[in-house]
Amino acid sequence: MSEAEFWEWVASEVRKAREAEQSRVSIVELIERELEEARKRKEYFLRKGDMEEFYYWEGYVGALLTVKGLLKKFGVV
């Protein structure tokens, strides 16, 4: 591989990395999406009267909120 080919390859890899970074979703966005879905499911099961499922989703929402809080507390996000 010549020096010119090497630098061409480096430029190509940098472009790929930048494209991947732009398309990457942050962990907070993923948690927010999951929270939204979990809250919808929790409300659905409450309206349906299925308390076992409701409590499951209520716990899941609580766990997601805990994770989100810890990520903020420790400066990950």
* Residue-wise pLDDT tens digits, 21-65: 776 668 888 899 999 999 999 999 999 999 999 999 999 999 999
Q: What is the pTM of this model?
A: 0.67
User: Is 9 part of any domain?
Assistant: no
Would 1 be classed as within a structural domain?
no
Q: State how far the Cα of 30 lies from the Cα of 16, in Å rounded to an integer.
A: 23
Task: Let me know if residue 10 belongs to a domain.
Answer: no
* Domain assignment present for 11: no
Residue 32: inside a domain, yes or no?
A: yes
Please, are residues 38 and 64 in contact by the beta-carbon 8 Å criterion? Answer: yes
What domain range is 31 assigned to?
Answer: 23-77
Would you say residue 6 lies in a domain?
A: no
Answer whether residue 13 is part of any domain: no
User: Rounded distance, CA 77 to CA 71, Å?
Assistant: 6
18 in a domain, yes or no? Answer: no
* CB hemisphere CA count around 34 (13 angstroms): 17
Q: What's the domain count of the chain? A: 1
* Dist CA 34 CA 47 (whole Å): 20
